[in-house]
Structure 1
Amino acid sequence: MTNFENSEQQIVTVKARADKAINSLKGILLGIISDDKIDSYEMKELQLWAREHHYLVNRNPFREFMSLIDNTVSNGIPPKEAVEDLYWLCQKYEHDSIYYNGITSDLQQLQGIFHGILSDGELNDTEIFKLHEWLSENEHLNSYYPYDEIRSLVLSVVSDKKIEEDERLILMAFIKQFVELSNNDVKASIDKATADINISGICAVDPEIIFENKTFCVTGILSRGTRTELQNAIKDKGGIPVNSISKKTDYLIIGDTSNACWSYACYGRKVEKALDLRKSGHTIVLVHEFDVFDAI
């Protein structure tokens, strides 16, 4: 057997092991949630699965699996939520593994386009129409952030084939979220031009948070406190903390230390559901934990 054939066989073998590990995990998760109760013994089985498959830790999405299992106890994530996140990741792996590398590459390219467009501190008509052209050619990214939101925004701007100054500034304000410019003068110029623009991306910017009789759900790992502390503070302000997203949820609080799912699937299970609800017309505000803690 040649070295090439041996390497090829090893790749196939690792892929087969990864698929088997995913199927095994999915089965364990289905068994755990079958009675709607999750105890410490069941969580230990998940930890055992993580140890047995640690050799796959550098392969997507196993790093996310391991991290989520490890962080469940240490960061106070409810076991039921962790299990649901893990199962969601398994499904994402099944559906997205073929396309994942290409999608990641295309999203990185989109971020590069953002950077290139704003590198001179301006956003002209030609750049906007070229961005529209690229977005139209990459509709396979439609369910991924930030493509989904920039696509909607650009379509609304170019629909009449005329770009007004306020539309240009809104686009600039959205795009600058994803760009770290090295030229401080250019950055300051963009910040000044968009200072009065309020846009809503994955998290609302400077949101007005009303607590009285509003429902709040948390996702991710908080950096300013524990979930219990935040939920108690929300109760003290008249709010209603909940553990799962629904049409009745008013706010989804996103932890500063992002859910491990984000690095594999762009955003986590709860965020994905919240965005789907928002797109279907339900009013749900995604807010950063810092904004909530500041409001409290």
Structure 2
Amino acid sequence: MKNIDQELLKIYTVKSQTDKAISSLKGFLLGIKLDDEINIQEIKELQKWIIAYRELMNRNPLNEFMIIIEDAISNKIPPKETIDDLYWLCQKYENGNYYFNAVTSDLQILQGICHGILADGIITDKEIYDLQKWLDENEHLNTYYPYDEIRSLVLSILSDNKIEEEERVVLMAFFKQFVQIQDNEIRQKIENETIDVNISGLCTSEPEVVFEGKTFCITGVLQRGNRENLHRDIIKLGGIPTDSLTKKTDYLIVGDNGNPAWAFSCYGRKVEKAINLRKEGHSIMLIHEFDFSDLMDDLL
């Protein structure tokens, strides 16, 4: 009976697994194309990605993808044409999918883009600027993980119109948290370059806050004012302040830790819990106290 249940589960879940794979592949291809160059490391990573999904990709209608990839591997199709053909197939699949969840798919595409950017172990200036453009065009993903975190990092990196090597490494360290690089050599290179970078939580940049009926929790030491006054102001605007963080929490206000090393880094027990809840799909927004104070000043 148990084996039958497992087989039924596989049948019922293959559709969602396929959707996720196609969305991730689409993003992966976008990420590879961002710098207008397709190198051997990126093609190798694509091949390894396909091997990981081979059982799924051999099913109809996804076997079309396998035919193109195998032609590319045998050098019958140039790399750029291969990427363009695969991307076209991804779009064709989406257009014919009546049960397509746009938000879920776009988040999977975003993770795929990050995979494509990391595929050769290098993050170029053009890739960062083009990623910013994609983020700006997909603001409907606000409040979702990892969109908010990536956007905060990119905005911070580009705020002075100059990309430092340290900032590039921080972005790489964040990407590697949810990108599974298949190539061992590239994966080890990324590990070595980011070994000293600790990414905990990232507060949302330029947050949009709704107060009426929403729940607010505070963590850390506030540099502007105190918790009692902040609770009072939240209530004035129709919000509900709480002392504990739960799945029902809408906003976590993070006290400034005085760390000048990174503008949007935040740490602590509640932050870690909020990040884990976000990864599970709960739309808890993390807001730095300075951003929240500025927003309150405009409303009160």
> Is TM more than 0.5 here?
no
The TM-score, its normalising length taken from structure 2, stands at 0.40
The TM-score, its normalising length taken from structure 1, stands at 0.40
